[in-house]
Chains A and B, each alone.
Chain A
Amino acid sequence: MTTLTDLTIAEARDGLARGAFSAVELAEAHIAAIEKARALNAFITETPARARADAAASDARRRAGTPGPLDGIPLAIKDLFCTEGVLTTAASRILDGFRPTYESTITAQLHAAGGVMMGKTNLDEFAMGSSNETSHYGPVENPWRRTGDNRPLVPGGSSGGSAAAVAGRLALGATGTDTGGSIRQPAAFCGIVGIKPTYGRCSRWGIVAFASSLDQAGPMTRSVRDAAIMLGAMSGFDAKDSTSADMPVPDFEAALTGDIRGLRVGIPKEYQVDGMSAEIRNLWDDGIAWMKAAGAIPVEVSLPHTRYALPTYYIIAPAEASSNLARYDGVRYGLRVDGETLDQMYENTRGAGFGREVRRRILIGTYVLSAGYYDAYYIKAQRVRALIARDFTEAFKSVDLLLTPTAPSDAFAQGDKSNDPIAMYLNDVFTVPASLAGLPAMSVPAGLSSAGLPLGLHLIGRAFDEETVLRAAGVLERAAGFTARPASRD
């Protein structure tokens, strides 16, 4: 039998059903793995006691004959999801000591499905970053290393702890959130699968808000099937989220037929950006060839406003963040730094509580929303956003799906880009457009770079058509035959 920590969710589900091992044994194997891998700094809070209790309850449910779809599966939860009674930090000092008195809808659904919570994973502060270096709790290390080079690499961000935990065999799946690429880019950097579903598919209630018109939760797993299983448990209408979609949740796993014959796959020519490396170009060509070999029809399409997606995002996301983060005032929760007056208390608290990148984005957001600049920046960005969304609508008149690379490079070393915000922002060049349009998009590990690091391919689908995205991702996964794994970190 393979090691319990190497199983996929689907394999673990079958093993638990057969009685080959118990949920408690599965949880213990992961608790031990987490203890051994602390150098990765993937978790802000480990919850072994909770995991043991969840697992024992799961075994009892199974004996009673009433297991849920994720019963006994060890899951890591991004520390952006509020978990009742369990420290929730958003990787920010300003939420120091915050123990929510309520549970996010998604973690409640995962718990109801039988999931076992292993802990809360590290992230960029308030999910603002692409390298997991902005966390108040320190950077996360990618379990992968370059061939012949021992420097620690970033896991991507912002869901870097979740990606490192899944790639490093510390959980079978993890929750992520994606505002501009925060599930997909770390999935690509760590050699795992990550899907951002359609905006509205998964409830945002109880997730610490960054940019509310963009934020969307999704699963991070080691296989496409696992992503389908976990997405099913995370999806669904929630009256507590005003933008939740009141639509039935399809059986995502049943969508994995492996049959994409006749599917029209758009290749957006504007994604062939200046300076794209040969290995990313080759990976993309491989992806096109694999789809074609499986009977799909590649079609060149145009998304003319692609190059404006990043600057549009860097107006809209900070503007929404500056508004959302106004709630951290030292009054209701988290850090308070005293001052003579109420205003001084606010300023001292927020000055001490926010890190550099978060402060930078709040200031940009405040600026673009301030009198005299609102129309020139914010309204302008919303108009360009409409054009970006329209580009996709037009393209989807002639194709069923889009195929692109996930990220412009493989994982970089810690410190390489942390002093150049724009260089950091460019990591999300291929993921941000789908975020602005609210479309489902997914990264699948598809190959290794010359340095021996994972690279991902990216699929974008029509709104609420995760099934086609997953089906095509399954075909890519099989064709790529990605079996490489991070070097042992013992």
Chain B
Amino acid sequence: MAVDKDTVTRIARLARIQVPDADRAPLAAELSNILGWIEQLGEVDTEGVAPLASVVDMKLRWRADAVDDGFIPDKVLANAPDHHDGFFAVPKVVE
């Protein structure tokens, strides 16, 4: 599957990464090359094989529904680039 410049623009938008226009064509070539190499998986017969999401043969554990953390707003906000009144601050999103 060849990736073109428009596809790079689209997936960069999906990934929320600003990609300078000059980088898009070279990136399209790089990604096409990598995806072309990956396509060899098409040779493998996977009919009836269940997808493996985790190698761990376990059920997710349950724990008691009890509060065991919290009340640390200063720690939570300690690395925030911007915060006000105990909240993370971001550019205005509502007019």
Residues of A participating in the B interface, judged by any CB pair closer than 8 Å: 97-102, 199-200, 213, 239, 242-243, 245-246, 305, 308, 311-312, 314-315, 322, 326, 329-336, 338-348, 350-352, 354, 359-360, 362-364, 366-367, 370, 373, 377, 379-387, 389, 421-422, 436-438, 463
For A350, the chain B residues whose CB sits under 8 A away are: 15-18
| Docked CA distance A242–B31 (Å) | 33
A456: min CB distance to chain B, Å: 24
For A330, the chain B residues whose CB sits under 8 A away are: 81
Contact (Cβ within 8 A) B54 A243? yes
Contact (Cβ within 8 A) B41 A367? no
Q: A333 with B80: in contact, given A383-B49, A437-B55 (CB under 8 Å)?
A: yes
Contact (Cβ within 8 A) A341 B91? yes
Q: A386 with B50: in contact, given A245-B56, A314-B38, A367-B31 (CB under 8 Å)?
A: yes
For B20, the chain A residues whose CB sits under 8 A away are: 351
- Which residue of A213, A338, A363, A421 is within 8 Å of B11 (Cβ)? A363
Contact (Cβ within 8 A) B30 A98? no
Q: Can you sample 11 A-B contacts with CB below 8 Å?
A: A199-B55, A200-B56, A239-B63, A305-B44, A331-B80, A331-B81, A335-B81, A339-B91, A360-B27, A380-B42, A421-B30
7 cross-chain pairs, A with B, having the tightest CB-CB distances, nearest first = A351-B18, A438-B55, A382-B51, A333-B79, A336-B81, A383-B46, A386-B52
Name the prevailing secondary structure of the A interface residues. Answer: helix
For A99, the chain B residues whose CB sits under 8 A away are: 78-79
Binary flags per residue of B71-93, CB closer than 8 Å to A gives 1, else 0: 01001101111100000101101
| Docked CA distance A18–B75 (Å) | 42
Q: A362 with B17: in contact, given A213-B53, A213-B55, A242-B61 (CB under 8 Å)?
A: yes
For B43, the chain A residues whose CB sits under 8 A away are: 308
A205: min CB distance to chain B, Å: 13
- Which residue of A245, A339, A340, A370 is within 8 Å of B14 (Cβ)? A370
| Docked CA distance A226–B44 (Å) | 41
Contact (Cβ within 8 A) B34 A322? no
